[in-house]
Amino acid sequence: MTVRALIVSDRPEFRQLLAHHVTLEWRDALPAEYEPARRGRLQASFRGSVYDVVLLDHEVQEGRGLEWLEDLGDRAGFPPIVYFAPAGDERAMRAGASRVLARLEFDHEQFAAALREALVERHNVLAGTSRAALEPPPPDRFGSVRIRGYRCVRRIAVGGSSSVFLAAVEGTGEARVLKVFRQVPDAVEGTTTFDRFLREFDLAARLDHPNIARIHDLGVADDHVYLAMEYFPGGDLRSRMSGPLPWRDALVYVRQLAAALGALHDIGVLHRDVKPGNVLLRGDGSVAFIDFGLARQLDLDSDITGNGAIFGTPHYMSPEQGHGLTLDGRSDLYSLGIVLHEMLSGVKPFRAETPLAVIYMHANEPLPRLPPAVAHLQPLLDVLLAKRPADRPASAAEIIARVDELLGLAAA
């Protein structure tokens, strides 16, 4: 039997290990390797039709394996995926894995058994016993979730807690963006969590602020929370940041984002996940926040401490957020400072091999320095990235005033 396996991992030694196990069990096997860090994501048109099984490493693109898993698993006719997860991580089966093995603790017998089961599954699908899996999905299906009243146009992105789709409203054809969250809310903390989330989103959705995404619909379909919001043709800020931005553009963005944070803080809502991927651009060049308050309320992001959940994205977390301390608006302002640094320099200020190491750096490393060309903005960055909340501006309004002064000097 010729087994055709695609091995997806950024670690050459791990790819070689998996290839060795494949050829040890099937001598005429044809393992192929794919390195996401170098080659990027697999194109949306890729269906893996020439492969019998895909071996996917959790550590692709710095631990974004679950995003890959959900993306590939939603593609019609895609081969079974054997997922290599950290020990004890049970999320992969919910995200679409055919089989899950502990990344560093499996033995050859477990490996071979998992692949044989996946190969049987693949054979059955190709033989026609599961033809429904190869049929085009209904127009109102978004991944594994059906949402009435919307037609799926295409998937835009896959995130750590959700998938994002471009949709059209049935009947009118108006463009909407649907964000469908992976985890069932009531299965995490009980019904009070979802009720609290709804109250907070109701407050935020009532805000008529130019730098906060307009919310059109919020609901539950197939036990998954979904959010329908305005469509942003400019994409997200991350896509705009292929390198350092002109400093005036960066300050204009920071001013708009600070204004949005101020409006949220005024109604008692913290964003808690300020990062370029949560900032979207309109056709006129203005920016708007999405996802305010969501990660903490729904427990949708990774628990990276082992001692009670800490939610958000480690590269943008304030020191107090990274250590599970009480937060206020100054935590969001710190995260905004990290985004400012990245816009001005093109790189994240604190980088390390693990999330915990990044969290440690936020609390203990010296403040990052800006390139000489934008050194005149160092005082603004320093005050935003102060280690102690008490040393940061007390409100977003103070940031706006500082930015206005800098832009005013530039205009003069």
Within a 13 Å sphere around the CA of 69, how many CA atoms are in the beta-carbon half? 28
Range 389-401 average pLDDT: 96
Surface-to-core class of residue 149, CB atoms within 10 Å of its CB (0-12 exposed, 13-18 middle, 19+ buried) = middle
Per-residue model confidence as pLDDT tens digits over 330-379: 999 999 999 999 999 999 999 988 888 999 999 999 999 999 999 999 99
Question: At residue 133, does pLDDT exceed 60?
Answer: no
Number of H helices, E strands in the chain: 15, 14
Instruction: Please tell me the total number of residues recorded for the chain in this structure.
Output: 412
Q: Is 404 a catalytic residue?
A: no
Tokens of 349: 């200020």
On whether the CB atoms of residues 164 and 143 are closer than 8 A, the answer is no
Q: Is the pLDDT of residue 304 over 50?
A: no
Q: What is the distance between the alpha carbons of residues 134 and 76, in angstroms, rounded to a whole number?
A: 5
Q: 57 has which bridge partners?
A: 84
**pTM of the predicted model as reported, rounded to 2 decimal places:** 0.64
CATH number of 366's domain: 1.10.510.10
Q: Looking at 273, 291, 301, 332, which residue is catalytic?
A: 273
CATH number for 116: 3.40.50.2300
Any idea what the CATH number is for the domain that residue 181 is in? 3.30.200.20
Q: Within 13 A of 412's CA, how many CA atoms are on the CB side?
A: 6
Backbone angles phi, psi at 336, to 5 degrees: -60, -35
Same domain? 31 vs 11: yes
Domain boundary among 117, 134, 151: 134
- Burial (Cβ within 10 Å: 0-12, 13-18, ≥19) of residue 232: buried
> Based on the domain organization, do 11 and 62 belong to the same domain?
yes
Tell me which of 180, 206, 229 is where a domain ends. Answer: 229
Maximum average pLDDT range among 17-31, 150-164, 282-296, 365-379? 365-379
CA distances from 64 to 7, 8, 57, 258 (A): 15, 12, 9, 29
Residues 205 and 241 in one domain: no
Distance (Å) of CA 331 to CA 121, 127, 153, 169: 48, 55, 37, 37
Place of tokens 């949560």: 278
At residue 228, the 3 state secondary structure works out as strand
* Same-domain check for residues 118 and 148: no
Query: Which amino acid, residue 168?
Result: A
Q: Is 227 helix (H, G, I), strand (E, B) or coil?
A: strand
What SS3 state is found at 136? coil
What confidence tier does 302 reach under pLDDT thresholds 50, 70, 90? very low
Residue type, 184: V
Q: How many domains does the chain have?
A: 3
Task: Average the pLDDT over 294-300 and give the result.
Answer: 39
The reply to whether 25 and 167 lie within a common domain is no
Do 210 and 343 fall within a single domain?
no
Q: Containing domain of residue 203, as a range?
A: 141-229
Pair type for strands 215-221 and 81-85: unpaired
One domain, residues 258 and 406: yes
275 lies in the same domain as 401: yes
Orientation angle between helical segments 247-266 and 396-411, nearest 10 degrees: 150
Q: In what order do the strands lie in the sheet with 53-57?
A: 30-34, 4-8, 53-57, 81-85, 99-102
Which range has the top average pLDDT, 86-95, 98-107, 128-137, 397-406?
A: 397-406
Residue range 85-106: average pLDDT?
A: 85
* Tokens encoding 187: 């299965």
* Residue that is last in its domain, among 204, 229, 254: 229
Q: Is 53 helix (H, G, I), strand (E, B) or coil?
A: strand
Q: Are residues 191 and 214 in the same domain?
A: yes
Q: Are residues 386 and 243 in the same domain?
A: yes
Angle at 224 between CA 293 and CA 325, to 5 degrees: 30
Where is pLDDT greater, at 92 or 99? Answer: 99
Q: What are the pLDDT digits (tens) for 37-51?
A: 888 888 877 888 889
**82 and 176: one domain?**
no
pLDDT of residue 295: 37
Please check whether residues 326 and 225 belong to one and the same domain.
Answer: no
Return phi, psi of residue 81, to 5°.
-115, 120
Nearest CA-CA partner of 97 in 112, 85, 81, 84: 81
Element at 15 (helix H, strand E): helix 12-25
